[in-house]
């Protein structure tokens, strides 16, 4: 939000410019407030204040113009015309004073909202408002000064009206009254004062406000020729003026002739244009059309504009074909296309506006890529780039696969071949995205990008994981063997015998560290296994499988049987399944191991 002190100082500067008759500068300063962040509670007051100020500046500007015109007319002894301007000035002064009252009232409202009247004397806000009031006072003094000028003009008019000035009469004749533009027409007339011809008097002829000076002869008459300008309008107005000067001032009144309309003729021009539906940038295209007129066919100058920028100019006659080239870097989109036919002599000009679609030619890519690759072996990609009319040569082709990137170019037949070196990583087997980006050399072709998925297999990582799994299996096997030595044949213990067997302290177990999701599942299983062994007194022999041990211990786990069964199944999947388990399975295995430990610790087994 603008600072109240700065806003009041700003308005003081605006009125300072207006007080020295710089009304355009003052209005330009007001326009700057459109970009200010005005609070909503002040928006209406500020906007209304600005509207009144603009109206006052326009009124004062018009007032000064009226007073200048009245003074000039009185100087030429055009008393009637001067009186009309003086009366209009009086109305403008009355309006200006009313607007000043509105501005002063609005300034007081604005000051109240800013807390000016509650501020202490000498504060910045009070000083800014005092300066604003001073500028408004200067502006009111300007209005009073302009009113005094108006009164002086009234006095001049009164004095001149009382003088016994001889009226003058000015005639004007144009033959013929209908001509082609560019033609020369004779103009004649006469000036008399009190019925006596006035010789050697300077007159002014105005043809559509374009002045021409002539002088009367000894008989008070004048004859001249006027060339009708190449203004392509149907009617022009000619009028003669006489203003006393020299010894005539104080003797004769000014006068003017009746306005004489002059009908003008010219050849109208029509323009038809056809453009392609789509125009590619940087590539020449042909615009067809025809320039026709009611007169004879002549050479015409045609200018072509694209988005208000001239792209070419040619001389044509009748039907034409003009070649234009849109800028190579212009973005795709809809643009205004304008053709202008310049006027020439009696032939009027014309123009045609239409919209043209700037768009690049699309290209297509066919590729030949393997469905699966072995990392880190390189593999080849072949392809072909083309458009609707044939192959695209020398286009840049950028191929990206994982961390590998290679760039090549198309041959004359649009084909390309590239070898991609794959980088070693820790992934086992997964799909990877192959991205192919084509950037043509020519600006009228569009770039394109295609994507393909290729399944990559990493034998190195798979071998490492196999070694880890084998090592894990060997560790489990050694642990089981160390905890329960005996014959390697399968032994099935009856349930009665298991219950009679005395508890045996478990042997010391080595600590194993597992990595990855499978390692987390197997670690959770070993923790659960250790808890079951302690609770049942049954230890896993090296020749006993995970499922056999589960079946043996279930009778002694009436409550923990369900979680231990699920945990055993997860361990079997981790050891024997080719599919990589998920992180959720590892979390579930750890939860099951904790459940088994909690239930057996509480004596629920």
Q: What per-residue confidence (pLDDT) applies to 225? A: 93
4-19 and 124-162 helices, crossing angle to 10°? 20
Q: How far apart are CA 569 and CA 562, in angstroms?
A: 11
Which residues of the chain are modeled with pLDDT < 70?
1-2, 423-429, 459-469, 471, 473, 476-515, 578, 603-605
pLDDT tens-digit series, residues 98-133: 999 999 998 998 888 888 888 888 899 999 999 999
Cis peptide before 569 (omega within 30 of 0): no
Q: What is the model's pLDDT at position 89?
A: 96
Give the pLDDT confidence score for residue 1 in this predicted structure: 54
**What is the structure's pLDDT at 80?**
86
DSSP H stretches of helix in 537-582: 546-553, 561-576
Positive or negative, the CA dihedral 464, 466, 469, 473 is negative
pLDDT attached to residue 165: 85
Residue 424 is predicted with a pLDDT of: 64
pLDDT at residue 496, as a whole number: 45
Rg (CA), the chain: 51
What angle is formed at CA 96 by the lines to CA 92 and CA 100, rounded to 5 degrees?
A: 175
Q: What is the pLDDT of residues 455-493, one digit of tens each?
A: 887 766 655 666 666 767 677 666 666 655 544 444 444
From CA 267, how far away is CA 181, in angstroms rounded? 10
Q: Domains of the chain by range and CATH?
A: 4-162 (1.20.58), 168-265 (2.60.40.1930), 280-358 (2.60.40), 364-457 (2.60.40.10), 461-601 (no CATH)
The count of C-alpha atoms lying within 13 angstroms of the C-alpha of 332, restricted to the half-sphere facing its C-beta, is: 11
CA distance 475 to 263: 115
Which DSSP symbol is given to 218? T
Nearest to 383 by CA among 448, 436, 426, 431: 436
Is the previous residue joined to 391 through a cis bond, with omega within 30 degrees of 0?
no
Listed residue (203, 266, 270) closest to 234, CA to CA: 266
CB of 187 closer than 8 Å to CB of 223: yes
- CB-CB neighbours of 554 under 10 Å: 17
| pLDDT of 2 | 66
- Tell how far CA 544 is from the center of its chain: 75
The CA-based angle 98-99-104, given to 5 degrees, is 100
């Amino acid at each position: 939000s603008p600072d109240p002190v700065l806003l009041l100082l700003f308005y003081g500067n605006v009125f300072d410019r207006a007080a020295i008759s710089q009304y355009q500068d003052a209005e330009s300063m007001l326009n700057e407030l459109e970009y200010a962040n005005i609070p909503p509670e002040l928006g209406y007051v500020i906007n209304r204040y600005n509207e009144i100020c603009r109206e006052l500046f326009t009124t004062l500007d018009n007032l000064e113009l009226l007073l200048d015109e009245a003074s000039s007319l009185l100087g030429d002894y055009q008393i009637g015309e001067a009186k009309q301007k003086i009366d209009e000035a009086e109305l403008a002064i009355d309006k200006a004073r009313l607007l000043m009252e509105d501005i002063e009232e609005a300034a007081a409202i604005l000051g109240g909202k800013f807390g000016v009247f509650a501020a202490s004397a000498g504060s910045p806000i009070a000083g800014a408002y005092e300066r604003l009031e001073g500028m408004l006072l200067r502006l009111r003094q300007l209005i009073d000064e302009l009113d005094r000028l108006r009164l002086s003009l009234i006095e001049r008019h009164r004095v001149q009206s009382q003088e016994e000035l001889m009226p003058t009469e000015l005639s004007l004749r144009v033959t013929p009254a209908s001509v082609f533009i560019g033609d020369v027409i004779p103009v004649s007339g006469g000036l008399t004062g009190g019925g006596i011809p006035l010789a050697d008097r300077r007159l002014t002829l105005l043809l559509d406000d374009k002045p021409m000076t002539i002088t009367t002869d000894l008989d008070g008459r004048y004859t001249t020729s006027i060339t009708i300008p190449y203004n392509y309008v149907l009617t022009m107005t000619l009028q003669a003026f006489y203003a006393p000067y020299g010894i005539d001032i104080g003797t004769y009144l000014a006068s003017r002739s009746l306005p004489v309309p002059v009908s003008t003729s010219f050849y109208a021009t029509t323009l038809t244009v056809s453009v392609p539906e789509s125009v590619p940038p940087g590539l020449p295209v042909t615009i067809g059309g025809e320039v026709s007129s009611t007169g004879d066919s002549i050479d015409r100058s045609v200018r072509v504009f694209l988005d208000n920028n001239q792209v070419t100019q040619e001389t044509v006659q009748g039907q034409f074909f003009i070649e234009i080239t849109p800028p190579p870097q212009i973005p795709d989109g809809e643009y205004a296309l304008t053709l202008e036919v310049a006027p020439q002599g009696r032939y009027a000009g014309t123009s045609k506006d239409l919209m043209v679609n700037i768009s690049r030619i699309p290209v297509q890519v066919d590729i030949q890529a393997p469905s699966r690759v072995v990392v880190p072996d390189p593999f080849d990609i072949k392809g072909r780039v083309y458009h609707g009319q044939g192959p695209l040569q020398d286009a840049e082709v950028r191929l990206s696969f994982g961390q590998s990137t290679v760039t090549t170019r198309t041959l004359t037949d649009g084909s390309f071949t590239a070898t991609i070196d794959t980088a070693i990583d820790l992934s086992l087997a997964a799909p990877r995205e192959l991205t192919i980006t084509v950037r043509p050399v020519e600006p009228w072709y569009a770039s394109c990008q295609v994507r393909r998925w290729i399944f990559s297999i990493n034998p190195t990582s798979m071998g490492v994981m196999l070694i880890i799994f084998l090592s894990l299996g060997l560790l489990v096997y050694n642990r089981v063997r160390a905890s329960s030595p005996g014959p390697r044949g399968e032994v099935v213990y009856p349930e009665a015998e298991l219950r009679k067997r005395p508890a045996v302290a478990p042997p010391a177990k080595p600590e194993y560290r597992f990595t990855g999701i499978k390692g987390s599942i197997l670690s959770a299983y070993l923790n659960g296994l250790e808890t079951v062994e302690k609770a049942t007194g049954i230890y896993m022999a090296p020749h006993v499988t995970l499922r056999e041990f589960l079946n043996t211990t279930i009778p002694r786990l009436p409550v923990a049987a369900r979680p231990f069964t699920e945990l055993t199944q997860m361990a079997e999947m981790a050891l024997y399944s080719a599919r990589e388990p998920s992180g959720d399975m590892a979390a579930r295995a750890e939860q099951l191991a904790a459940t088994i430990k909690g239930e057996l610790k509480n004596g629920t087994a």
